Amino acid sequence: MPKDFQETRKGSPIMKEKQPQQHVDLKVGHLIYIRYRDHVLYHRTQPEILGPQTRECVGWLIYDCTDYIILTWDRDGGSPTLKGADPKASGLVLLRSDILELKRIG
């Protein structure tokens, strides 16, 4: 069972209480490490034994607000397009409520 869970008396997992996040001074463009809870899609299995999965990601901060952050792990290394965005970038939009750990690494 993932370390973010504890078992109830019936053996089904529940989330442990999250630790409060420490404030991290971040700016757009910083290289960051994130550990976060992710949704799990299941099919033809016992749902009572499942729970959110803990995942990790490293990328560049694109946007930061009180509700969520946007980071990219793959981006164009050249100059921006005429519209100023990278149409080939890949990354994540993560809810702050699902972030377990966030730190600047670059």
Q: Is the pLDDT of residue 100 over 90?
A: yes
Q: Is the pLDDT of residue 101 over 70?
A: yes
What is the C-alpha separation between 68 and 36, in angstroms, rounded?
Answer: 12
pLDDT score recorded for residue 96:
95
Q: Confidence class of residue 58 from pLDDT cuts 50, 70 and 90? A: very high
pLDDT single digits (tens) 76-99: 887 665 566 677 889 999 999 999
pLDDT score recorded for residue 25:
82
Question: How many CB atoms neighbour CB 62 within 10 A?
Answer: 18
3-state secondary structure string across 37-63: EECCCCCCCCHHHCCCEEEEEEEEEEE
pLDDT single digits (tens) 1-56: 455 555 544 454 555 545 545 567 889 999 999 999 999 999 999 999 999 999 99
pLDDT score recorded for residue 50:
93
Letter string b/e over residues 47-56, b meaning 16 or more CB atoms within 10 A of that residue's CB: eeeebbebee
Q: Where are the beta strands (DSSP E) in the chain?
A: 5-7, 13-15, 31-38, 53-64, 68-74, 90-95, 99-104
In this prediction the pTM is 0.71
| Domain residue spans of the chain | 5-104
- Chain centre to alpha carbon of residue 92: 7
